[in-house]
Each structure stands twice: as structure tokens, then as C-alpha cells.
Structure 1
Amino acid sequence: MSQTLPESPTSFTLKEAIDYSMDHSFTVKNSVLQKNMTSAKKGEVRSLLLPQVSANADYNHFFQVQKNILEGGIGLMTTAAPGAVVPLQLALPNQLVPSLSASQVLFDMSHFSGLKAANASEVIADQTIKKSQIDMTVNVTKAYYGVLVNEKQLKAIRKNLERMDSLYKETIARYETGLARRIDVSRIEVSLNNMREEKEKTIRAVALSRSILKYQMNLPEENPLVLTDSLSENVLLEVEQILNTRQKVNYSNRIEYSIIESQKRLSKLDLQATRAGHYPRLLAVASTGFTPSASKIENLTQSSRWYQYSSVGLRLQVPIFSGFATHYKVQQKRIEEEVIDNNKVALEKGINLEVDQALINLENSMQSLKIQKRNLDLAQENLQVLRAEYEHGIALNIEVTTAEASLIDAQTSYYNALYGALLSKADYDKAMGNIIK
């Protein structure tokens, strides 16, 4: 029996859209994969502190067998003349050496420091995931608001179009009864055509903004998308509070600052690990194997030739001179620390600039939004009065069409100002590090 896969959701609040993007965004997924890679590297470093076991098998054929030199009158050579040189062949031409060896690090400062550095790298990987989540939150928020603003503007244009179409039909009826001129009909028809064109442009803008949101969320393009949140002017209250309180910048709230501090700690640990290259290493070693040999290769398999040997011991490795390699590696790490210190200072200045710029944009957006809201109210009121006067034969046709055009301009300016305020609020929250705590 076939099992159908669950369909992707189609309705999203802003929070749900952000949560969906966290689970499906390639940027976030890649940062998680990078964290997994860092964890694997940490395991690689840890494995160097575990026993290392290897098996070897060497075969040698000596076409000139090494001879050992003995002197007559000494040891086994008592029958030879004293001082006579006696070459003695102790080995056979064919030799097989299968062996098993093991070692265990007992003391190695570079490995111990490397493990600490691996832990620090894992912290940076976690912080990088958080940074990608913050960036994704801001991008989805801006795209979500972009759809809402365009849809709101499209709704307003459709209402304007209905009013203009009604006015057009009414003017035609008046023209047919001799109460209006032909130029009045033509003037309204021009405005009506312009409004229809504006409607089509806005429809395309809505489609584009939806595509941008789907892209940010990594939602398949063919999937339907319904946004359940609505535009609210509550953002005005939040912005007013921000501008009134002027919260002090706290660098530690910014994930970039946390990352650079972690990079500083990692650099110090890397420096320790590099300096540890001057320290000795102590290992426990063990080996076992066989050394069969024979004049003819086919005799190597004879069991009488196989005698086992085994040994255990300690190996102390003391670095004496590495051609100044460790010295130059330490220099590189010190320079790297200086670069990180410079980047930290630059980041602090950059954060201050971001916050100042965000506050200026907020003030400008708020001022623009208040003005455009007032203009919109005036344009609506003006149109309402002129429509009533036109119906009573007081106002001219051109005054009504001009008022309709002014209302459209006021609506466009208002929604652009509202969208600008929403974007400025998102940029300010990001600059202050208030997106994800």
C-alpha cells in the first residue's frame, strides 16, 4: 500500500514562515553540516590520543647477504689465528618479517592543546549556525512584509478602480443626456487606463514578492502560499519607544562579536599547540612478530622457521632543531592574533555605525510615515467631498479625477513609508542584536 508524503503547509504567520525557513533553508542546512564537519574533525584530533595499532609485512631478498666480521682468537673463533679477519654470514638470502605494533600517547602537549582548540572550533560552528538563523530571520521578515504591503496596495488599487469605473459609467450617462462633455469622458478614461496599468504592475509586484519569500523560505515555487498575519501600525508604538529610550549598544548581543571573541580564544589555543611542538613526546610502544628466513623462498612457509618475538617499551621523542619551522609557525599565530584584535576593533566601530544608521533610518521612516498617513487621510477626505459636490453639480469632473490621482499617489507613498518603517525596524533589531537571543 503506497504511503503519501505529507504536503507542505500553505498558510503561514510570520513566525511560522521563519520556523519553516530554519528547517528548509540551504544556508542554515549548510551551517549545520559545517558544524557536523567540525565535530568530525574534533573526533579526528581525539583519536590521536587513542592507541594506534598497525600490521606490517616486509619481504627482503638479499642478492648479497650481509656478513659480520669476527677476529680469530675471540669468542667462537678460537681455532683461527689471533687477529685474523673472519667474515661470517649469519643471515639467509630470503627473509619475511610479519609484525604487529601498537603505540599509546602518554604525554604530548600539542595533542592536548589541539583537543582544546577543536572544542573552541565547535563553539564557533554553533555560533555560525546562530548567525545564519539570524540572517534568515531578517530576510524572511523583510520578504514577508514585502508581500503584505504589495497585497495591501493591490487591494487599495482595486477599490480605486471600482470607484473610477463607476465614475466613468456615470460620466458616460451624463454625456448621453447632455450634462457632461466628451472631454470629461476622455479625461476619466485616461485615468481609468492608467489605473488599470498600475493594477497590472502591482499584480506582478505581488507575484515577485511572493517568489522572493518562497525563495527565502526554500518553499517550492509551485506550492500555494497564504499569509495569515496582517499589516499593523503597532510597529509605530515600538519604534516610538525605541527612539525615546535610545538603548545603549551591547556588543555581546551581536553574534558576530561572539564569533570574533571565540576566534580570539581559538587563536590562543592554536598558539599553545604550536609552541607545544618544542616539548618532548612520550609514548608507550609494543610489538610482536616473526622473522622466518631461508635460502630458498619456498621454504619460508616451513613452521620450523617461524619463531615469535615480542617487546614492550617507552619511546621518548625530544625535538632539538626543526630548522626554525616551529619558530615561524609561532610567528604566524601571533600575527593572526593581531589581525583578530584589529577585526574586533573594526567590528565595534562597525556596530556603532550600524546602530546610528538604523536609528537615523527609523527617525526618517517614522517622520515619513506620519506625514504620508496624514496625506492619505487628507486625500481620502478631499475625494469624498469632491465626489459629493460632483454629484450635486458643484465640483468639476477634472477636480474629481485629480483627487483620485492624488489618492493613488498618497496610498502608494503611505505603503512605501510603512514598508520602509518595517524594514528599518528589522535592521535596527539586527544591529542591536535583538533578533535571536
Structure 2
Amino acid sequence: MKIFKLKILGAAILWGLTGLAYHADAQDVSELTSGEEVTITLDEAIQIALVNNHLLRKGLLDLDRAEAQIREAWGSVYPQINASGSYTRNLRTPNPFAGSDAGGLFESFGAVDWLAFNESARTDGDPNTNPISFDEYLDRQRQGYEDAGIAPPGSDGSNPFAVENQFEFGLSVTQAVYNGAAFSAIKAAKQFRELNQDQVQADRQQVVNEVKNSFYSALLAKEQVEVLRSSVERLRVTVEETRRSVEAGVLSRYDRVSAEVELVNLETNLIEAENQAELAAKNLALQLGIPTQNEINLRGALEYDESMQPEVADKDVAYEIAMQQRPDISQTENLLELRAIEGEVTKSRYFPTVNAFANFAYIGSVPSNRTLISPVEGQEFTFTTSDRGFFDDSYWNEAVSVGLRMNWSIFNGFQTRMQVQQNKIDIKKAEIDREFQQNAVYLEIDQTMKNLETSLRRIRSQERNLEQAELNYEFSLRRLQEGAGTALQERQASSLLDQSKLNYLSAVYDYLIALSQYEKSIGKPVLDAE
């Protein structure tokens, strides 16, 4: 099987220089193929998880979402530009003067034309032109329309005021002059981004703690397999020596059978331990965002040295550090600030909003029949027609307006006052949560430090016990080789040695888990690869 060594390429750049931006191609995990073996250390596992863990990748998307919400909030104070257009086809238009005396006024327009004709006839100095009666004027006008083959206006009984086609195209611009809610919303969006940044940092610490737990669990399972494998090898040697002793008549057949049964049981335990170790490694791969089909090979050992002591041994000092470093503490403070900003948004409803606006419209009233009837110059009762174009200036007009618009809710049934009261209650609840959180943090630090102390005492005790077990096994093995001891005594000593090793590994594991939890409890910053 090919050994694939992971390389952490630029993890610090990913989180430090790009503003916590995720780039999937910045490390070699993406190059893995199913079945490849991955060899990693704890530090490498942490750096892989900081880039590839599913929870952190989702957190970065939430951060991007918060940035988009800030830009959205700013959009409410930018100029708002809207375009509109409409077309209306008037199939039947009512007479606007129906039922009123105004209709008679328009019927008298013909008389006005007759009076103007007679006045012109009297004053033109031509003796051949004389005033005529109103009926004659109408008859001659009607004859002129017939000679020109033109239907007189209104002869079809249609509404003379109706326009079949109406168009309107508009552009409006609105600019907020004063809007307290909009500007408070911008502050709220920025505060929400701070909350998401704190959450990302909290998720990083949580992921690091979980990766350490998974790595130590997988490492413990691996070490347990090694202990059992060594025990199986020793027992196989013992079984072979027992068989030879039985053949030589030194030991009974019972001793051989007992050793063989014990070997089978131990081999079964080894198989189960190997399965558990494989599952622990797959769980680690899941935390790292690596396909679980790949085999994880751990580099490291469960060992304790004095450098693993916590950085701060004083509980009160550790608590003060936690108040400064823990992102969830910062998140609570930002939440209180967000509640205060929400109160500002609510109070802004007491004040008016003022907007400046500018509107431009291009309006068209275009009849379907665009034929214009006009008399021939110098010939009063001779008519001609002409067609106007669709975009003739007589059909289209522009409209432009500018102004200020104020909207002020004077009274809304005390709704705003009650909303302000609810916001004050939310702030008090958040303050109570902060008080509880501070007490919980102190208790968490106290508990983790006690766990560290207990685990360290177990390590000290198991170190001495392991030394005694190793001496006891060497003594029993030497007695067996000299013929002074029995195989049963050697097996018992071997079993005690194995149990002592497992107890020591368990104590170191518990200490490392407690140390990781302690570092998380004080909010130790997560450092990226250099």
C-alpha cells in the first residue's frame, strides 16, 4: 500500500492573511484517493482540521453571510432607483361629461365656428362673400366632408374624448435623508458579524479539543493493540515451552491445555482491540474531513513529561485569563451590545423618516385613428386629411417632479413603547445569562484543574506500579528459565505487566484529555501552522 504523507501547505495563510477564508486547494487532503494510507502527527491533524473540518467550513459560510447582511443593511441608505412601465388599451371609455350640462357646451363649438366664418365674411372686403345661416353652414360643411370622402368627426357616435392606447414609462429615485432605523440596522449587522467571528473562534477551539480527544483515543487504542500483541507473542513462546515441558514429562497435559486456551482468548481480545483501533482512526478521519475509506496511521505515543504541565496553576488567575480569551465570553458581551442596538432600532420609530425623491415619466396617449382632418387653406368647406406618426409630439409628454416626503407615526396604540419594554427585558435576561456563564466558567476551570491533578497522581502511581510489574515479570521469567518457577507464574506476571501498561496508558490518556479540556476552558488561542 502506498504511504501518503500529508503536507500542511499554508494553513496559517488560510486563516491569518485571507480573513478566515476557506480554500479547498490549499492542502493536500484533496489529492487523496480512496484506500491511501495517511500518516499524521497530532499537530498535523489539528492543522488539517482547521482547514478541512465540516463544522469550521460551515462557520466560515456563516461569516460570509454576515458580511453580506452588512452590505444589505447599507443598501437601505443608498439611493433607491426604480423603473416602471405600463400599457393600457381602453376598449370602451365613458363620456366624462355624461349627465351634466357640460355636453351642451361642446355641442355649441360648431356655432362658434359659424360665427367666426360670418365675421370673416363681413370683414374681408369681398362683396361675393356674405354671412350665411347656421343651418347652411352645417350643410356646406357636411357637403365638404362628403366631397372629400371623409366621415365627419363624431358621426360614428364614438366618444370624442376617448384615447385607445395609453403608455407610461417612469423612473424614480429616492434617497433617505433621515432614517434612524436604517442606520441602527447597519450597526446591528456589524455587531452580528462580531458574533459570528466569535462563534468561528469558539468552533475552532471546540474542533481542536475534539480532534485531540479523537487523536488520543485512536492513539490509546493503537497502544492497547501493541500491548496485547506483545502479550500474545510472549504467551505463544510460553505455550511452546509448556508443550516441550509436557513432552519431557516435567509438566502435565493440563498445564499445556490451560496455556493454549489462554492464548486463544488473548488472540480474540487482540482482534477486538484491532477493530476498536480501526474505528477510532476512522472517527478521527471524520473529524479531519478526510474520507473514512483512507487508513489513518498515527505518529506519536502516549507519554507524559513535565512540559505537559498547565501554563497557569492558579485557579483565580486562570479564570481571569478565561474572561479575556474565551470567545463565548466575548460573544455574550457582543450579544448584550446587539440587544442595545435593537433597542435603538425600536426607539427610532418615535421619530419620522425623511426621504428626497425625483420622478421622471414619459407618457403617451396614442389613438388608434391618427388621421387629422383640416380645411384647405383659403377654402373653408374643402377638407383634406393627413396621418400623424405613432411618436408624434402631440401624443407624448414628459413629466418631472422632485420633492421631500416625510412619514411619521404619531400614535400606534403604544406598540412602540411596549416593544421598547420587551427589549429592556431581553437585555436583563442576557445579563442574567452572562452572570450564569461566568460562574459556569469558574466551575469548569476548577473541575478541569482537579481532573488534571487526579490524572497526574494516577500517572505517578502507575509509573511506580509499572516498574514493579516489569521487575516481577523479569524475575518470574528468569525463575522459569532456571526451572525454579512455573509457566503459570510467568503467565500471571505477564498478565500483571500488561494490565500495568494499560493502566499507565489510560492514566496518561485521561491526563491529556483533561489538559485539552483545561486549555479550552481558559480559551487558549488556536494557532495555525507557521
Q: How would you bin the TM-score normalised by the shorter chain? A: 0.7 to 0.9
**How far apart, in 1, do the equivalents of 2:268 and 2:311 lie?**
40
Describe the superposition over 1:241-293 as per-residue Cα deviations: whole angstroms up to 9, x where unpaired.
65578743022221111111111111111111111121122211101113333
2:519 counterpart SS class: helix
Q: Which residue of 2 aligns with 1:379?
A: 469
1:248 to 318, 322, 340: 318
Q: Which residue of 1 aligns with 2:31?
A: 7
**How far apart, in 1, do the equivalents of 2:337 and 2:83 lie?**
40
**How far apart, in 2, do the equivalents of 1:332 and 1:66 lie?**
55
Matches within 5 A, 1:291-310: 291-293=363-365, 301-303=390-392, 304-310=394-400
| CA-CA distance at 1:220 after TM superposition | 0.7
Q: Which residue of 2 aligns with 1:84?
A: none
**How far apart, in 1, do the equivalents of 2:72 and 2:208 lie?**
34
On the 8 A contact 1:292/1:300 being kept in 2, the answer is no
Q: Which residue of 2 aligns with 1:322?
A: 412
Amino acid corresponding to residue 225 of structure 1 in structure 2: I
2:448 to 358, 362, 377: 358
Q: 1:242 to 1:110 in 2, by over 3 A?
A: closer
| CA-CA distance at 1:353 after TM superposition | 1.4
Q: Which residue of 1 aligns with 2:348?
A: 276
Q: Which residue of 2 aligns with 1:401?
A: 491
| CA-CA distance at 1:130 after TM superposition | 1.1
TM-score by length of 1: 0.88
1:266 to 328, 335, 338: 338
Describe the superposition over 1:208-247 as per-residue Cα deviations: whole angstroms up to 9, x where unpaired.
110110011011112232323333312x543376557874
Q: Which residue of 1 aligns with 2:47?
A: 19
Q: Which residue of 2 aligns with 1:86?
A: none
Q: Which residue of 1 aligns with 2:217?
A: 146
Q: 1:328 to 1:293 in 2, by over 3 A?
A: farther
**How far apart, in 2, do the equivalents of 1:297 and 1:59 lie?**
17
On the 8 A contact 1:64/1:93 being kept in 2, the answer is no
2:318 counterpart SS class: coil
Q: Which residue of 2 aligns with 1:157?
A: 228
Choose 39-48 or 300-309, whichever is displaced more: 300-309
Amino acid corresponding to residue 360 of structure 2 in structure 1: T
On the 8 A contact 2:318/2:445 being kept in 1, the answer is no
Q: 1:110 to 1:122 in 2, by over 3 A?
A: same
- Where in structure 2 are there 5+ consecutive unaligned residues? 1-27, 103-158, 371-387
1:370 to 454, 460, 467: 460
| CA-CA distance at 1:206 after TM superposition | 0.9
Amino acid corresponding to residue 397 of structure 2 in structure 1: Y
| CA-CA distance at 1:381 after TM superposition | 1.0
Matches within 5 A, 1:133-212: 133-212=204-283
Amino acid corresponding to residue 42 of structure 2 in structure 1: L
RMSD over aligned CA atoms reads 2.9
**How far apart, in 2, do the equivalents of 1:258 and 1:426 lie?**
21
**How far apart, in 1, do the equivalents of 2:304 and 2:450 lie?**
19
Q: Which residue of 2 aligns with 1:75?
A: none
**How far apart, in 1, do the equivalents of 2:85 and 2:414 lie?**
36
**How far apart, in 1, do the equivalents of 2:483 and 2:456 lie?**
40
**How far apart, in 2, do the equivalents of 1:191 and 1:5 lie?**
44
Q: 1:368 to 1:5 in 2, by over 3 A?
A: closer
| CA-CA distance at 1:68 after TM superposition | 12
Amino acid corresponding to residue 406 of structure 1 in structure 2: L
Matches within 5 A, 1:217-256: 217-234=288-305, 236-239=306-309, 242-243=312-313, 247-250=317-320, 251-256=323-328
On the 8 A contact 1:187/1:398 being kept in 2, the answer is no
TM-score by length of 2: 0.73
Q: Which residue of 2 aligns with 1:421?
A: 511
- Where in structure 1 are there 5+ consecutive unaligned residues? 73-88
Amino acid corresponding to residue 290 of structure 1 in structure 2: Y
1:104 counterpart SS class: strand
Q: 1:240 to 1:32 in 2, by over 3 A?
A: closer
**How far apart, in 1, do the equivalents of 2:99 and 2:182 lie?**
45
Choose 191-200 or 270-279, whichever is displaced more: 191-200
Q: 1:297 to 1:407 in 2, by over 3 A?
A: farther
Q: 1:240 to 1:333 in 2, by over 3 A?
A: closer
Q: 1:170 to 1:297 in 2, by over 3 A?
A: farther
Describe the superposition over 1:8-63 as per-residue Cα deviations: whole angstroms up to 9, x where unpaired.
39222212111111221111111111111111111111111111111223456584
Q: 1:242 to 1:386 in 2, by over 3 A?
A: farther
Choose 136-145 or 192-201, whichever is displaced more: 192-201
1:376 counterpart SS class: helix
Amino acid corresponding to residue 70 of structure 2 in structure 1: K
Amino acid corresponding to residue 426 of structure 1 in structure 2: S
Higher Cα radius of gyration? 2
**How far apart, in 1, do the equivalents of 2:78 and 2:287 lie?**
45
**How far apart, in 2, do the equivalents of 1:222 and 1:198 lie?**
25
| CA-CA distance at 1:329 after TM superposition | 2.5
Amino acid corresponding to residue 355 of structure 2 in structure 1: L
How many residues are matched? Answer: 419
Matched, 1:121 2:192: yes
Q: Which residue of 1 aligns with 2:436?
A: 346
On the 8 A contact 1:390/1:396 being kept in 2, the answer is yes
| CA-CA distance at 1:296 after TM superposition | 5.8
On the 8 A contact 2:238/2:487 being kept in 1, the answer is no
Describe the superposition over 1:124-159 as per-residue Cα deviations: whole angstroms up to 9, x where unpaired.
111111111111111111111112222122112222
| CA-CA distance at 1:383 after TM superposition | 0.9
- The structure in which a higher percent of residues are helix is 1
On the 8 A contact 2:29/2:290 being kept in 1, the answer is no
**How far apart, in 1, do the equivalents of 2:29 and 2:331 lie?**
39
Describe the superposition over 1:318-371 as per-residue Cα deviations: whole angstroms up to 9, x where unpaired.
221233332233223222212211111111111111111111211221122222
Describe the superposition over 1:81-112 as per-residue Cα deviations: whole angstroms up to 9, x where unpaired.
xxxxxxxx997565443221111112111111
On the 8 A contact 2:310/2:515 being kept in 1, the answer is no
| CA-CA distance at 1:67 after TM superposition | 5.8
Q: 1:383 to 1:67 in 2, by over 3 A?
A: farther
